[in-house]
Structure 1
Amino acid sequence: MLRCKGLENMNYQETLLYLDSLNTFGIKLGLERITSLLKRMDQPQNRYKTIHVTGTNGKGSTTNMLAGILTQAKIKTGMYTSPHLVSYTERMQIDGHQIREADFANCISQVKLCADQMVADGNESPTQFEVLTAGAFLYFATMKVEYAVIEVGLGGLLDSTNVIVPEVSVITNVTFEHADRCGGTLAGIAAHKAGIIKEGVPVVTAADGETLQIIRETAHAKNSDIFVAGEDFSAAFIAFDGHKQKLAFSSRLLGASEEYFLRVLGKHQIENSSLAIMTALLIHNQDSRVTMEGIGHALDLATWAGRFEIMNQNNQKILVDGAHNLAGMKVLRSNLDSYFPAQERVILLGILKDKDVDGMIETLIRPIDTVVVTEPSSDRAAMPDYIAKKIKSQHVEAYIDIPEALARAQELAGSNRLLCIAGSLYLIGEARQLLLTEQ
């Protein structure tokens, strides 16, 4: 039970205003505030089992696949992800269904009671992400889930989600991002990701090189078994039928070798799905409801909005991809070259100014591409004219307004070119919503 008492109960719109007001406190890493907040809430995160997922790229996709696998096994499963594309309700799901706005408002209202008491007692206010995380933990406890798959928000070691003791810790990969908050170096970033490893809890990872060594050392220090992609298990591409990938998972360690279909496209999803399978097989050791047959069925049904997602719109092929950093752009470019090697491209691009703008542009844009630049709906957005001047392509246009930019990009693409929307989750969320309203 909550130890916080009060009468306040916000509606959904009031909840959004409250969350927006918490932006004043910005991003503050550390576990002191969330620990204090959850203590006042009687530790809802301890009332179910969890799987914890971090990594630079692929953590959202892997989280989604794992939640789908557990749901397919008839296990009541929560999923917490961030950020959202359109609505906060996307972040908290149970068995594939988003939280209702009324339930979201109720959970955040209850968290606010405890947050307000913290401030009244002279403590620092929780941040927006801390309130959302506490709200998700409370929602899953209230709904009595058996498992919750929890995606890290930023880093790992000092992330608000790092108050759980999971059944398995998953680290997808480690590349150079958020260095200013995670130690300033690749080794520092790896140390932050490895911070989710708990005593005796197995680790599944696709990290390599220097970052893998740091993760190995942390796992050894924590007496945790570690399972490494490419060494202990792997997945390989077999075929693509235009809709799904046919893949093969193998692990000599587990004596497993299975073919499966994956609806989520992209070469990077081959590795992500292997992480999900390996993690699920570890869960199978303690819960026989998780089976290879069920895993295959779940992956065949898996979808992940805005991640190399194909949308067919009025006889026009549109690709929406949440590539929002250099590593993501490298994956997107590789996937475009593999799946659509001969098709002309129109790129609708919007990038945040705190990203590697030059590297992202150089990676994604070819001289033969047509590019429309716009401004993502974020106060961190880089101005379209600034981005456009950096692009060395045959045709570049810039628009502040996303609907206008999208309409122009669709016009330029017509029915013969592939329209690719990428660069920021703030952009693809709004653009995707506009496309859905056109249907």
Structure 2
Amino acid sequence: MGLINFERPSARTQDFQFRLQRMRDLLRRLDLGDLLHQKSAPKPAPIPTIHIAGTKGKGSVAMMIAAGLSAAGVRTGLYTSPHLHHLEERFRIDGKPCRPDQLDDLIEQSIPICRQMADQEVGQPTFFELTTALALLHFRQRGCQAQVIEVGLGGRLDSTNVIQSSLSVITSIGLDHQNVLGHTKAAIAAEKAGIIKPGVPVISGVRCRTVDPSRTGTACGQTTPPKNNVACDIQADDDPEPVIRRIAGEVGTRLLTLGEDFDFRCRPTRAWGSDVELFDLPAPTRNDDACPPPSPHMPPPAKLQFHLGVEGMHQAGNAALAAKSLQILADAQLLPDDEPAGFQLPSLDIQRCVRAWHSINLPGRIERFCLPDGPMLIIDTAHNEDSITALATTLGNRFGPSAAGRRRMVIVFGTSRDKDAGSMLRVLSRLTDRLVLTRFQDNPRYLPLDRLAEAVPPRSFSDVQSSESSQDAVAMACRATGPDGVVVVCGSFFLADEIRRGIQIETLI
């Protein structure tokens, strides 16, 4: 598109502040000014708008919410990033990507505006700013009744944060993009909680470290919140949950937190996926003023049961956040008394929503394929220690030495140069001692093989091979594991894209 690509993060806050001003200007020029958040006089969003941030899980939660809404008959736009294969994937309506001719038309509409801005002090929009604006324009022109918007990076200063939301979701807090967001979980939590807006309910998957364990549920057979839950990896001296709670209180909005206001149980099934139960918890007694008290109209504790066709306890946690979000959208009684009218979708059928997740496919999220005359291939976009840990836990439970479905496993790994490859490989070494290192070809951010080999922790893998070609790396892994084994590709969105495009995949399981 001939635009600056600011999906590569800048560390200068003033740059982000300037970009937010430019983003507001861009939306106004596209006649989308009614979508903007007005700090002085907030108004309800023109259509229900769900805004989602988090270190990991935000893409999965966004896709689950959008699929649920669409299944219930609500025409829903979904904006996510990055894309796996084609730019059109970022702009989906009822699960279908924008057509190439539609994207061409959107770009044609934006070109004169971008040229005008380039000649003015505000400057030309960045690539991410424009794709965000095009998504909102696409959803408007195609008559969407709701929209689900995933944050690109952080939250407070992200280009998506200029819009008025109806519901905010924070999925998790972990250490990633520290050069921009901060070097502690508390600092990163403050950035991601920047999407919280006055009067807009917040769903948080960041568990409170001090919650009484007797109030929480049983997640996948465990009696305490599991270490690798979507929202449980919290260091004792760096707790992000109080930060989110404090900001919600300062802004003046209702916060519902996983493990404190609601929780879930999940049981893996013999087939792929889990049976999940979502339930409310009794209102906690708290002696601080960090959050407004629960609405007096809150209904008694209720349960919602559903099957999730995606593997992993972390995905069950994501589904719990998505299900609670849908409940908030459906039931006006769950909202604060002063919530602006027109926010909720009172006719939303929650059972229809969650039934959509029985067969949901989340591209690049523990995605299974059958290779011709070969082993099972699993592709996952996990690219930081938290998401790799969730992946390793899931695969260990399903295919590990103590699992009923034990299989020989080989890891194919490649990542970007700004990632902590050593930490990710240390986690993966708990799964298997067989590793094939590779790199992706179509993006210059790849970590070269010599540096990747140096990142392999000592005494972690006994069999380490490498290939400059990702396709050859998968072929090597297939030979090593045999037809009954499992080949796992992970470490990068770019690697997942390349493998999905370059390998002859016979069947999506």
Q: TM-score, normalised by structure 1?
A: 0.91
CA contact (8 A) 2:474 2:487 kept: no
Determine whether 1:356 maps to 2:420.
Answer: yes
The superposition leaves residues 375-422 of structure 1 with CA deviations (integer Å, 9 ceiling, x where unpaired) of 123222111222123324121111112222222222222213210000
Out of 20, 26, 41, the position equivalent to 2:30 is: 41
What corresponds to 1:339 in structure 2? 398
Q: Output the CA distance in 2 between the equivalents of 1:230 and 1:317.
A: 35
Change in CA separation of 1:24 and 1:94 when aligned onto 2, cut-off 3 Å? closer
Out of 305, 308, 316, the position equivalent to 1:270 is: 316
Change in CA separation of 1:206 and 1:24 when aligned onto 2, cut-off 3 Å? closer
- 1:61-72 → structure 2 map (5 Å cutoff): 61-72=60-71
What corresponds to 1:206 in structure 2? 205
CA apart distance, 1:262? 0.2
Out of 256, 262, 270, the position equivalent to 2:302 is: 256
| Residue identity opposite 1:433 in structure 2 | R
What corresponds to 1:217 in structure 2? 246
- 1:325-336 → structure 2 map (5 Å cutoff): 325-336=384-395
| Residue identity opposite 1:393 in structure 2 | F
CA contact (8 A) 1:413 1:419 kept: yes
What corresponds to 2:354 in structure 1? 296
1:139 alignment partner, SS class: helix
Structure 1 segments, 4+ long, off by >4 Å, are 436-439
What corresponds to 1:234 in structure 2? 263
Identity %, equivalent residues: 33
CA contact (8 A) 1:375 1:401 kept: yes
CA apart distance, 1:295? 2.5
Gaps of 5+ in 2: 11-15, 36-45, 210-238, 283-298, 332-343, 402-406
Out of 401, 404, 408, the position equivalent to 2:469 is: 401
| Residue identity opposite 1:168 in structure 2 | L
What corresponds to 1:12 in structure 2? none
What corresponds to 2:295 in structure 1? none
Q: Which moved more, 1:409-418 or 1:328-337?
A: 409-418
1:393 alignment partner, SS class: coil
1:23 alignment partner, SS class: coil
1:310 alignment partner, SS class: strand
What corresponds to 1:417 in structure 2? 485
What corresponds to 1:370 in structure 2? 434
- 1:169-188 → structure 2 map (5 Å cutoff): 169-188=168-187
Q: Which moved more, 1:354-363 or 1:184-193?
A: 184-193
The superposition leaves residues 243-279 of structure 1 with CA deviations (integer Å, 9 ceiling, x where unpaired) of 2311111114652212210011111011100000100
Q: Output the CA distance in 2 between the equivalents of 1:273 and 1:69.
A: 10
Q: Output the CA distance in 2 between the equivalents of 1:259 and 1:26.
A: 40
The superposition leaves residues 30-63 of structure 1 with CA deviations (integer Å, 9 ceiling, x where unpaired) of 3122111111111267253210000000000000
| Residue identity opposite 2:137 in structure 1 | L
What corresponds to 1:13 in structure 2? none
Q: Which moved more, 1:172-181 or 1:184-193?
A: 184-193
Q: Which moved more, 1:364-373 or 1:96-105?
A: 364-373
Determine whether 1:435 maps to 2:499.
Answer: no
What corresponds to 2:217 in structure 1? none
What corresponds to 1:117 in structure 2? 116
Q: Output the CA distance in 2 between the equivalents of 1:357 and 1:112.
A: 40
RMSD of equivalent CA atoms: 1.8
CA apart distance, 1:100? 0.2
The superposition leaves residues 320-355 of structure 1 with CA deviations (integer Å, 9 ceiling, x where unpaired) of 111101111111111111111132211110011111
Change in CA separation of 1:126 and 1:184 when aligned onto 2, cut-off 3 Å? farther
CA contact (8 A) 1:45 1:141 kept: no
1:161 alignment partner, SS class: helix
CA contact (8 A) 2:72 2:352 kept: yes
What corresponds to 1:323 in structure 2? 382
CA contact (8 A) 2:154 2:181 kept: yes
Q: Output the CA distance in 1 between the equivalents of 2:138 and 2:330.
A: 26
Aligned length: 421
2:31 alignment partner, SS class: coil
Q: Output the CA distance in 2 between the equivalents of 1:248 and 1:367.
A: 28
Greater helix percent: which structure? 1
What corresponds to 1:381 in structure 2? 446
